[in-house]
Amino acid sequence: MAVTAAAVAKPTRNEIVSSDKLILLWADMKVEQQMVGMMGVCCYILSCETTAKAAIVDPGGDEQRILDRVVEAGLDVEYIIATHGHPDHVCGNRRIKEATGAAIIMHEDDDDFFSQSQVKNYFSMLGMEESPATDVRVKEGDLITFGEVSLQLIHTPGHTPGGMCLYTNPDLITGDTLFVGGIGRTDFPGGSHRDLISSIQEKLLVLPPETVVWPGHGYGGSRSTIEEERRSNPYLR
């Protein structure tokens, strides 16, 4: 993983839509969004068009469908990225890791928080599989690089202490920080409404208005833009 401050331009894209996935193709990166698991998590398969190196973001179930797609596309998955540590977003980590050998990435604050026994006990009531240990701990501003693609980490605490978004111009994967017309819950252990609103207003809404928002659940829709969320999200007024 490279830790630098490089910017990545994504000037052109084509779009493919089917009943179970949305795929965007840039000059050097392809993004595939899949709705997975019983909680309807938006999982993302990100791949470098030049090298076929890839990362999987939030594999929250339906692991075989994700893996089948990886094989079909001929991808080499290097990373499994958790936008945060809630079980619905990491319950597929073990099977994906066993099948691909990919390294699990999580923000250092969530890695610490979700390693606590009382936190594990609380979330065990959901009955979802626990993630294996984190391989790579990251922090604000780090870059995750696979092939010729780089994702900048933006630490957005509030939904969880170590919640993070992934940014590569012009796109933003927001996990459970920001939804289409909504925001993440803050009533779970480690949540803070004040921190969440601050994260969104100070770190996300300052991004270019055309930035595409890719949420962690499709509650209000599968994607939006920063401009649209500034204008119409009732939780940000």
- Predicted local confidence at residue 38, as pLDDT: 93
Q: Which residues touch 138 (CB under 8 Å, ≥6 apart)?
A: 1, 105, 106, 107, 108, 144, 153, 164
- Predicted local confidence at residue 42, as pLDDT: 98
Residues 212-221 as b/e (b if ≥16 CB within 10 A, e otherwise) read: bbbbbbbeee
Return the structure tokens found at 93: 């980590």
- Predicted local confidence at residue 77, as pLDDT: 98
- Predicted local confidence at residue 171, as pLDDT: 86
Give the SS3 label for residue 131. coil
Domain covering 13-236: architecture: 4-Layer Sandwich (3.60)
Which residue, among 74, 71, 73, 93, has the nearest Cα to 82 in the 3D structure?
A: 93
d(CA 235, CA 218): 16
Per-residue pLDDT of the chain (237 residues; tens, 9 = 90+): 443 333 333 434 444 444 445 555 444 778 899 999 999 999 999 999 999 999 999 999 999 999 999 999 999 999 999 999 999 999 999 999 999 999 999 999 999 999 999 999 999 988 999 999 999 999 999 999 999 999 999 999 999 999 999 999 888 999 999 999 999 999 999 999 999 999 999 999 999 999 999 999 999 999 999 999 999 999 998
3-state SS record for 83-103:
CCCCHHHHCCHHHHHHHHCCE
Cβ atoms of 234 and 181 within 8 Å: the answer is yes
- Predicted local confidence at residue 2, as pLDDT: 47
